[in-house]
Amino acid sequence: QLLESVPGYEYTSGESIFTDIFMTLARSLSFMDMVQLGLGNSECLARARPQLRQLISQRLLNNEPLTIAAITQVVDRFNAELRPHFAILENARLRDEVDLPASINFFNHSMLPTIINNVMEEGNPTTFHRNLMKKCSLYIRQLCALLQYCCLDGVTGLESILRALVNQMTNGVPEVLQEWTMSHSMVNFRTFISTMNVPAEDIKPFLVYRIGGPPTSPQPATSPPQVSPAIEPMDIQATEEVQIESTPIREPTVGDVPPNQHLNEVIGWPNALPSEWVPIISRDSQRQRRQSPQGPFSDAYLSGMPSKRRKLITSSKPQGNLSQVISESMATALGAAGMSTGPEVDVIAQRAGQDNTLRAAYREQVRTTLRHTLNSNPDYLPDKYPNTAKYIKKQ
């Protein structure tokens, strides 16, 4: 009703995916729901779920079953409607070596399927709104981080893109409303950007780099864009429309590729695979390149192993009660510091295990480490593991 009171307002269903999504939420939620949503309270999204599912099923899936191929086509349509808006990127100075439109396309193919699945799957209705809010928040934060990384002026460049977007969206509305929207958008944006905290390493796997010179192998580097219609859904590249020469996958910069690595090994393999596999394999390969060391296995995981393998792995884990663990850790630390073994070391280690202050600090350190590990794990849900959530919240 508020939108319909704006002079010149007119909405036609089916003209834009973005407008359809916005109007679906606007018709399903009240103004106070929108305010609560902005404050981080996502319970109201549960009421909008039936309308969102209907929109995705009818508008995007054309009432077809939810399959990997269907989701890929949905993201292709999303990217196709997004492409005309790439003109706003011209308002910022961008990195020449990065193909930003193709990077955004690839980013959408990596991120949007999980959001679509979250809306469409028959999951727990009590956790739906939290999961959806979490995934959408991650999508927005990483998209902004991707844009900021590609802007030579950083946050200033990202702000100029946002200003162009708001001007485009409010074109034709009364000037007072346009100024109010711009002012509030900038305030909210600056608050949001100050708490974004997305490491550059998290968004680099989504980058598509241009190839500046001729390839070193006989096969031309620009051949992937000239694909046959049979694999046309590989729209994540979007190289035909933007008239540039770019790699068809997210690729590290030339300096990151070993000099003896054949160029076809980097850019040729997507042509031999179904298009829906490309984002998954590319994402996994990037994760493997920056894979962190394997952490210790949990007791629950070890209990499912064969006894010999379990014994081999657990032999290096601390054994005994808390006092014994602290004593052994102290003895190990003293040995690493160069103190020879002897009665003095044994006495110090034993007293450390009996010290109540040290025991309390050890427990708190375990709880702090566990809290940090779980909060950074996307698979951890407090509602699914209530005892764990209760433990890490203890003060």
Question: 283 with 162, same domain?
Answer: yes
Has residue 297 been placed in a domain? no
Please give the pLDDT value at position 226: 36
Residue 243 belongs to domain spanning: 1-214+230-291
Please give the pLDDT value at position 390: 83
Sign of CA dihedral 119, 122, 123, 126: positive
Please give the pLDDT value at position 318: 66
Low pLDDT (below 50) residues in the chain: 1-7, 213-268
Has residue 225 been placed in a domain? no
| Number of domains the chain is built from | 2
Query: In Å, how far are 39, 115, 181, 195, 363 from 46, measured between CA atoms?
Result: 16, 14, 27, 26, 38
Has residue 13 been placed in a domain? yes
Question: 275 with 323, same domain?
Answer: no
Question: 131 with 280, same domain?
Answer: yes
Q: Which helix (H) or strand (E) holds 115?
A: helix 100-120
Question: 173 with 55, same domain?
Answer: yes
Please give the pLDDT value at position 119: 87
Q: Please tell me whether residue 368 adopts helix, strand or coil conformation.
A: helix
Question: 274 with 238, same domain?
Answer: yes
Question: 96 with 39, same domain?
Answer: yes
Has residue 99 been placed in a domain? yes
Question: 128 with 241, same domain?
Answer: yes
Please give the pLDDT value at position 221: 34
Please give the pLDDT value at position 131: 86
Question: 276 with 330, same domain?
Answer: no
Question: 106 with 239, same domain?
Answer: yes
CB-CB neighbours of 384 under 10 Å:
11
Question: 89 with 128, same domain?
Answer: yes
Please give the pLDDT value at position 143: 92
Has residue 382 been placed in a domain? yes
